[in-house]
Amino acid sequence: MVQSQGTRQRYDVAVIGAGVIGCATARRYAIAGARVLLLEKAADILDGASKGNSAILHTGFDAPPGSVEAACVAEGYREYLDIREKLGLPLLRTGALVIAWTDEQEAALPELIDQARANGVDDVQMLSRQETLSREPGLAPTLRASFRVPGESIIDPWSAPLAYLGQALAHGAELRRNSEVLGGRFDGEEWELRLAGESVRARLVINAAGLFADEVDLALIGTRDFTTRPRKGQFVVYDKPAAALASHILLPVPTKITKGVVVCPTAFGNLLVGPTAEDQTDRRTARLVPEALAALRRRGEEILPALKEHTVTAIYAGLRPATEFKDYCIRSHEGLNYVTIGGIRSTGLTSALGTASYVFGLTEAAGFGFDAPDEIAWPNVANISEAGERDWQRPGNGGVVCQCELVTRREIEAALEGPLGARSLAGLKRRTRVTMGRCQGFHCSARLAKMTRDVFDTPMAERLDHD
Amino acid sequence: MTRLPAEVDVAIIGGGPAGLSAAAELKRLGVASVLVLERDSEAGGVPRLCGHSPFGFREFHRPMFGPAFARALVARAREAGADIRPATTVTSLGPGPRLTVTSDEGVAEIAARAVLVATGAREASRAERLIGGSKPGGVMVTGALQGLVYGAGARPFRRPLILGTELVSFSAILTCRHASIRPVAMVEPSERIVARAPSGLLPQVLGIPLYLATDIAEIRGGERVEAVVLATATGDVTIETDGVVVTGRFRPESTLARLGGLEIDTHTGGPSVDTCGRSSEPGFYAAGNILRPVETAGRCWEEGRAVARAIARDLAAPAADRGATVTLAEGPLRYVMPQRLSSDGPPALNELQLRADRPARGRLSLRAEGREILGHKVSVRPERRIRIPLPAGNYPVQVVFEEEP
Ligand SMILES: Cc1cc2nc3c(=O)[nH]c(=O)nc-3n(C[C@H](O)[C@H](O)[C@H](O)COP(=O)(O)OP(=O)(O)OC[C@H]3O[C@@H](n4cnc5c(N)ncnc54)[C@H](O)[C@@H]3O)c2cc1C
Ligand SMILES: Cc1cc2nc3c(=O)[nH]c(=O)nc-3n(C[C@H](O)[C@H](O)[C@H](O)COP(=O)(O)OP(=O)(O)OC[C@H]3O[C@@H](n4cnc5c(N)ncnc54)[C@H](O)[C@@H]3O)c2cc1C
């Protein structure tokens, strides 16, 4: 625990960045008994790489064997299954099909199966064309063969980090939003991190700044040993009736640079096609490009021809914090009480819990220990996925506000409350899915504007005072 | 409020002009229990938030503002004895017919002898149109803008750009004016204004720059919209603006129907129906804008009333005939509705309704077994009504448009 001469501003651990990695890391240290501060520069958590991904909980069957990534993914996967019920988190055990569409791809399947086994995923199963089609009748009949990875699953990409952070807060962690770390100094014992207008002190600093992890390294330790090379991924999301077209995650045979375009169900009952893989220098904006989105539609229709008859209800893009290295860039800077977690490229949602444990192991080895609490709290997050009961199914919900996603008044009010409450429409969307459905706010904008008038940092609309 | 009934004669999904007129008519025809389920906090449908004229000619023989019109429709249905339940969303349909609904009380099941699906239409969102750029706040369809201005007394932006020139796009302009919002530009992808005069003259009258043959290439902004890049015939133009109203390109609100197993016509986007409004599933009917994009409130009201008469008849003596198909040949036409001709009872939908995808000239004809039974020369434009009288008799027909070169 913190020494008594410490002010309120003194923490055991300061985690920089509230992406999925930062949230899982804050949790890991908090449940171990550390006094944790999580600093996020944006108005809300999950505003960086973590805001737009495919939401697949990977088994790691295609990870490079022996890499840090493979270890963190495997451990993250395992721990998610272990704790998810205690936190109220969903799991859609869809399984994945890795589908070969050409001779060349078909020839590559055995090697991929060997790789899966090397990664400890040994329940994969080769399927002939016929067997594949009988499991997924909606697939274009031109496919050659596939193999099935039963463990690949779908989760809720926002509730998971929210739940990790919720558990951290239950263990005394603090979250500060709109708090960018601008610089800092290590005096041999403690860090002093400079924020706009104030500073905080912590024994250990963990840089989980995602796309900005290299820049934070430069600002704090004066050097960086990797450079972020953002890789954009665009997606199209189809309306709920399209979800009936596929029951598995449909993966292509991966190439060296990308896992390729995936067709997969979502935890919210939609169907998703994406992502693209486009290198760019901008770390902030993931621009949607109509031609790329149209190409995704076409690719989706090549895989599932009946998709032609379905409508797109949402489009989004995310940036992967890729670097010049293939593996994660996790470094413990001995003597500086400082750890960098960078380059968590395309598997961070899955690996977050594992990555947090890996980092915890590094700092433990460097001598950081905390007094574990007597008991661990398991606060539940509200379920917004189709996998469990939803609030609209229960009495006293206050009525449905967002009709497409069936979000109730009670759910919205809860998401606006407390230390983790949403402070922007984007944050409210991630917590409840309001306006994320087919009408994109046609029906609920007015009620939302009223409900959030005095809550959001920037209101959805100004008041009309007739003059 | 009393509990929802577990059983009714007719359940109507959607309390807009179509659903409310059907409810009033069913009661007038002596149907004992008619239940209207409306997900919004008040019944009335889209007109409830259209703080502008014209509504009501057909129904009340005078021009009315949307909200007054909506209230009048609700009052009529209620006086006729319909049970109207706002804040109640239908979440699924099943054979029977059977409905699952949710409200503040949680979930309930309702069994009905007949169900009318009158869930209306909505505009295509930015996502559906695959508009590129970043995703700032302040991009919305007309319906959302009207909700904010008339429903919440709020002003989401001050100088937006308006995409589209359909009738509803001009509703967007009127709504802006009501809130002292000054549109900076109106943008139309095609070469001409889609709506007819006089609405089409509005931008000129109000001094709003109009860009034809122009599309949005990119929306820029962080928290809020900052600019829009337009792709015009002569190159890109960047316009500073703080919002985008994405208007029109309506599509039926048919997800519930589709998930409920009703056959959907991919051309209209709504359920396939016969001339009596019967869908593919026994006991399920449809009327109003769910049938096709998009008609005026008056016509939807008329349609609801007419389909109500067919429902009342079927309740007394169920129809057996599935009807002969109406199909559409390849060409500039987008859809034809109804999709089947029924000989069971007088038609509720008494003409074939068509729309074109693009401007075209040529011969429009109706054929049976390859033989023309009706035909004339026409010139068609998108979003304009095209009508063909129903053929007499009950045999499959095809609508053909032979384009002039
Ligand atoms: C297209 C795409 C698809 C993907 N699909 C999957 C998938 O299916 N399964 C899977 O497991 N993973 C997937 N991923 C990967 C996963 O989303 C990322 O690995 C993960 O989100 C990385 O999280 P992070 O916490 O490292 O980074 P971020 O989410 O970027 O978090 C870093 C945070 O730090 C904050 N920050 C930065 N600088 C500062 C500062 N100076 N002070 C304070 N705060 C700061 C940022 O605002 C940000 O919130 C996908 C990613 C993309 C882009
Ligand atoms: C912005 C705008 C301006 C317009 N201006 C004019 C005008 O000036 N003049 C004119 O004549 N027409 C105008 N129209 C068109 C007119 O509003 C429509 O033609 C008319 O409202 C269609 O009636 P409807 O009953 O078919 O559908 P709607 O009015 O859309 O009603 C459908 C109802 O069903 C409800 N509903 C949907 N799903 C469910 C569910 N699952 N459970 C329960 N309830 C559900 C909806 O909430 C809605 O109230 C305008 C339309 C728009 C969008």
DSSP A66: T
List alpha helices for B186-272, DSSP H.
Answer: 202-206, 255-259
- Distance (angstroms) between ligand 1 centre and the Cα of A346 equals 9
Mutation pick for ligand 2 pocket among B46, B246, B290 (CB with most ligand atoms within 8 Å): B46
Per-residue pLDDT of chain B in tens (405 residues, 90 and over written 9): 688 999 999 999 999 999 999 999 999 999 999 999 999 999 999 999 888 778 988 888 999 999 999 999 999 999 999 999 999 999 999 999 999 999 999 999 999 999 999 999 999 999 999 999 999 999 999 999 999 999 889 999 999 999 999 999 999 999 999 999 999 999 999 999 998 877 777 777 788 999 999 999 999 999 899 999 999 999 999 999 999 999 999 999 999 999 999 999 999 999 999 999 999 999 999 999 999 999 999 999 999 999 999 999 999 998 888 889 999 999 999 999 999 999 888 999 999 999 999 999 999 999 999 899 999 999 999 888 999 999 988 899 999 999 998
Looking at the CA of B110, name the nearest ligand: 2
Long-range Cβ contact pairs of A397-400 (< 8 A, separation 24 or more): A397/B102, A397/B104, A397/B106, A398/B104, A399/B41, A399/B87, A399/B103, A399/B104, A400/B39, A400/B87, A400/B89, A400/B102, A400/B103
* B131 Cα distance to chain centroid: 22
**Domains of chain A, each with CATH number or no CATH:** 3-52+158-228+325-365 (3.50.50.60), 90-154+230-320 (3.30.9.10), 391-466 (no CATH)
DSSP B338-350: -SEE--SSS-SS-
> CA A168, CA A45: separation in Å to the nearest integer?
14
Check: CB of residue B146 under 8 Å from CB of residue B122: no
- How far apart CA A212 and CA A340 sit, in angstroms, is 11
Beta partners for B367?
A: B372, B398
Which helix or strand (DSSP H or E) is residue B68 part of?
helix B66-80
Q: Which residues line ligand 1 (CB under 6 A)?
A: A 16-22, 39-42, 47-50, 52-56, 58, 180-181, 208-212, 216, 233, 275, 318-321, 344-350
Pocket test for ligand 1, best of A41, A51, A53 (most atoms within 8 A of CB): A53
Q: Give me ligand 1 centre to Cα B151, in Å.
A: 37
Instruction: Burial-class residue B191 by CB neighbours within 10 Å (0-12, 13-18, 19+).
Output: exposed
Ligand 2 near B293 CB (within 6 A)? no
Q: Which residues contact A13 (CB under 8 A, 6 or more apart)?
A: A26, A29, A34, A35, A36, A37, A202, A203, A204, A205, A206
Which tokens go with A79? 């721990």
| Nearest CA among B287, B301, B291 for reference residue B70 | B301
Substitution target from A51, A240, A289, A400 for chain B, most B beta carbons within 10 A: A400
> A400 in contact with B at a CB cutoff of 8 Å?
yes
Contact between residue A222 and residue A354 where contact means Cβ atoms under 8 Å apart:
no
- Residue B326: both structure tokens together: 């109406």
Report the pLDDT value the prediction gives residue A257, as an integer from 0 to 100.
Answer: 64
The CB of B86 under 6 Å from ligand 2? The reply is no
The 10s digit of each residue's pLDDT in B240-298 is 999 999 999 999 999 999 999 999 999 999 999 999 999 999 999 999 999 999 999 99
What is the C-alpha to C-alpha distance for residues B326 and B84, in angstroms, rounded to an integer?
35
Dist CA A264 CA A268 (whole Å): 11
Q: What residues of A are in contact with residue B125 (Cβ under 8 Å)? A: 313, 438-442
The residue of chain B nearest to residue A242, with distances taken between CA atoms, is B259
Among B87, B91, B153, the residue with its CB nearest the CB of A464 is: B153
CATH of B126-246, one of 3.65.10.10, 3.20.20.80, 3.30.43.10, 3.50.50.60: 3.50.50.60
pLDDT of residue A1: 38
Q: How far apart are CA A196 and CA A198, in angstroms?
A: 6
Contact call for B89 and A425, based on CB within 8 A: no
Q: Which atom of ligand 2 is nearest to the CA of B52?
A: 8
Residue pair A432/A440 in contact (Cβ under 8 Å)? The answer is no
Q: Is A274 helix (H, G, I), strand (E, B) or coil?
A: strand
CB contact under 8 Å between B179 and A464, yes or no, is yes
Contact A288 B131 (CB under 8 A): yes
- Contacts with B130 from chain A: Cβ below 8 Å: 236, 288, 290, 293-294, 297, 312, 315
Q: To test the ligand 1 pocket, which listed residue (A15, A20, A279) has its Cβ within 8 A of the most ligand atoms? A: A20
Q: Which of B109, B148, B225 should be substituted to probe chain A, the one whose Cβ sees the most A Cβ atoms within 10 Å?
A: B148
The verdict on the CB of residue B353 being under 6 Å from ligand 2 is no
Q: Are A440 and B125 inside 8 Å of each other by CB?
A: yes
Sites in chain A below the pLDDT cut of 50: 1-7, 466-467
A11 CB-near residues (< 8 Å, 6+ apart): A2, A34, A35, A36, A37, A174, A200, A201, A202, A203
- The CATH topology of domain B6-122+250-319 is FAD/NAD(P)-binding domain (3.50.50)
B126-246 shares the fold of B6-122+250-319: yes
Ligand 1, atom 37: nearest CA belongs to which residue?
Answer: A209
**Domain assignments of chain B as residue spans, ordered by start:** 6-122+250-319, 126-246, 322-405
Contact yes or no for A461 and B155 at CB 8 A: yes
When CB atoms are compared, the residue of B102, B125, B131 closest to A393 is B102
Contact of A239 with chain B, judged by CB distance below 8 Å, is answered with yes
Beta-carbon contacts of A355 under 8 Å, excluding residues fewer than 6 positions away, are A21, A24, A25, A72, A76, A328, A330, A341, A344, A348
Contacts of A424 in chain B (CB under 8 A): 223
The number of CA neighbours under 13 Å toward the Cβ of A66 is 0
Angle, alpha carbons A430-A403-B285 (nearest 5°): 150
**Which ligand lies nearest the alpha carbon of A346?**
1
